[in-house]
Structures are given as structure tokens and as C-alpha cells.
Amino acid sequence: MLAKIVITTLQIVSTFYLTIVLLRFLLQLARADFYNPISQFVVKATNPPLRPLRKIIPAWGPIDGAALVLAILVQMVAFFFILVALNNGLPPINPLTLLLTLLTWSVITVLGLIVKIYFWSVIAVVVVSWIAPGSNHPAIQLVAQITEPVMRPVRKVMPSLGGLDLSPIVVFLILNVISVMINHMAAAAGLGSIGVAL
């Protein structure tokens, strides 16, 4: 019972912070407005661990390598403590095997969460475009900026049809295909064995 409570708490806390870190990564990727109040919160919440990491891991153009590495490290630590809680101590496996397993699980989980963020962000953009077009709310503006890197390439290939933007439908299909692939990778890597659902 106690182990289940610890695991649930670890999953909630780690997923919350991991989402913030990945938002930092996606904000940089989209070159979003960092003066947005939500962006400012994300920056303040992620700066302490990112500053030392940036001295080792530089950015590659719009790709914030330090934020991506931080996200993987956060997830690795969470998985480690989940395994400790499940086994009432260190798992009885070779340390190198454990490290590689944690790394694999973490990369898959981070990829899955990035796809989820994009998926729900695209839904939000579509819904807002129907009920509150032209809204200046900071959250709506930020979500629109985050989705732009995945929407822009599709819009170039598929122009609007009589003023109707069909690009979200194509993006949904692509994200669903990627999500299925990630779920298969998670199953192959044994992620289900610790009760983690992507």
C-alpha cells in the first residue's frame, strides 16, 4: 500500500516537472515569446538545473539540448525511485543494465510526453479558433506558438480549402501514428512492467 502511494506521488510530481521542462524545450524550438507570463514561470522553474547543464551541453540552433537532457535525467531519477519502491531496495540487476534500462525507458517516456503536449496543444488551438478567434490571452498565444513548428510544414504542403485550415487533421493523424509507434517501443522495452502508461 505504501509503495503504491510513493509510486503514484513520484509519477505525479515527476510528470508535472517533466512537462514544465519539455515546455521550456518546445518554447525554444518554436522561438516563442519568452516575455509571456507563462513562459516566465517556465523559465524560472527550469533555470536552476539548466544553468549548470548549459555549461556542458550547448544549444544546437533552436534545439535546447540542455533542456532535453534535463528532461531525460528527471525521468531517469523518477524511474529509479519507482523501482526502489517496487523492490523495497535496489533492483537485483547489474548496475550498467539498470542504467541502460532507465535511459531507454526515460527517452521513450519523454518522446511520448512531447507527442502528448503537441496533441493537446493542437486540440486547444482548434477549439479556440472556433469559440474565441483572435483571443489575446497569454495561454492561447503560447499554445499557438508551440504548435507552429508542427503545423507550418503541413500548411505548406496542404493549403487552406476555401478558408478552412485542414492542417490540424493531418497533424492529428501524424501524431497518432507516432504515438502508436512509441507505445510499441514502450511495450518492447518492458515499461508496462512498472505500471507506466504512455
pLDDT bracket for residue 100 (50, 70, 90): very high
The phi, psi pair for 152, rounded to 5°, reads: -60, -50
Give the containing element (helix H, strand E) for 179.
Answer: helix 167-188
Phi/psi region, residue 59 (left: phi>0; alpha: psi -120 to 50; beta: rest), is: beta
Specify the higher pLDDT residue, 195 or 124. Answer: 124
**pLDDT of residue 61 exceeding 90:** no
* Residues 186 and 112 sit within 8 Å (Cβ to Cβ): yes
Least confident of 61-65, 80-84, 91-95, 159-163: 159-163
Mean predicted confidence (pLDDT) in 6-16: 89
* Residues 91 and 79 sit within 8 Å (Cβ to Cβ): no
What local confidence, expressed as pLDDT, does residue 33 receive?
84
Show Cβ contacts of residue 98 under 8 Å, excluding neighbours closer than 6 positions.
Answer: 83, 91
Each residue of 138-183: pLDDT tens digit?
A: 888 888 889 988 888 888 887 766 667 778 888 999 999 999 999 9
* Residues 62 and 41 sit within 8 Å (Cβ to Cβ): no
